Amino acid sequence: MAEPTDFVRPSYNYLRKIKVKIKIMVNDTISDVLTRIRNGCLIQSQIVLIPLTKLSEQICHTLQKEGFIDSFKRDAEKRSFEITLKYKAATYSNSNSSVPLKGKGVREARVLQLSKAASTRKPCITNLRRISKPGLRVYTRAKQIPTVLGGMGILIISTSQGIMTDREARFRGIGGEIVCSVW
């Protein structure tokens, strides 16, 4: 009688190397889209791939219209969207300062500080937060739509007339489900 052999499951990286198509099941597609964009901003990636759904297309269109992402294009072959993230240059520099010195006839001397001009890329999206979750849906009326950071950020709201920002929903007088906040 033959001995049963132990089955060793191959690793995910090994399967990627040999080009095996792996289907990942996602229950909450909106959270998946937001997490992929957030992770892309954290590692300062230029391009992020997200799954192809109508809802993710509308969210990307809203983010592009509000200036949080540069562009997005549909890749039907891979069944995904390719989002080009938007970054702004942030430069930091220390200025010269004057320090009063003690002594006869010396009023003040200029102290030259090292000027460090380092330019780094800073993402336009500071924070993405999912508000209405599958376990707890959050709805609002048109007159009770909250503002994000005093109007500096946006809420993405799912209404009966489609996905729109909080400003559009207030202007049209429509309430709906608060999907996420972006600033």
In DSSP terms, which residues pair with 136 in a beta bridge?
A: 133
User: Which residue has tokens 């540069």?
Assistant: 70
Range of lowest pLDDT (14-28, 70-84, 111-125, 162-176): 111-125
94-147: pLDDT as tens digits: 554 444 555 555 554 444 443 344 347 899 999 999 999 999 999 999 999 999
The CATH fold assigned to 27-90+123-182 is Dna Ligase; domain 1 (3.30.1490)
Residue 72 is encoded by which pair of tokens? 């997005």
Say which residues have a Cβ less than 8 Å from residue 61's Cβ, sequence separation at least 6: 72, 163
The CA radius of gyration of the chain, in Å to the nearest whole number, is 25
Give the span between the Cα atoms of 13 and 29, in whole angstroms: 24
E strands present in 30-102:
47-51, 69-75, 80-85, 87-92, 97-99
pLDDT given at position 100: 54
* Token duo for residue 62: 């809203």
CA-CA distance, 30 to 132, in Å (whole number)? 10
pTM, to two decimals: 0.72
Whole-angstrom Cα distance, residue 154 to residue 147?
7
**Sequence letter at residue 70:** D
Comparison of pLDDT for 76 and 109, the residue scoring more: 76
Give the pLDDT band of residue 57 (cuts 50, 70, 90): very high
Structure tokens belonging to residue 124: 């336009």
CA distance 163 to 47: 23
CA 29 – CA 131 distance, rounded (Å): 14
* pLDDT at 89 (0 to 100): 83
167 token code pair: 């400003």
Taking a C-beta distance cutoff of 8 angstroms, is the pair 161, 172 a contact? yes
For 151-178, the pLDDT digits (tens) are 999 999 999 999 999 999 999 999 999 9
More confident residue, 131 or 20: 131
Q: Tokens 């969207």: give the residue.
A: 81
In sequence order, the 6+-apart residues with CB closer than 8 A to the CB of 166 are 145, 146, 147, 148, 154, 155, 157
pLDDT of residue 113: 41
pLDDT in the model for residue 120: 76
User: What pLDDT is stored for residue 114 in this prediction?
Assistant: 37
Q: Quick check: 49 and 82 in contact, CB under 8 A? A: yes
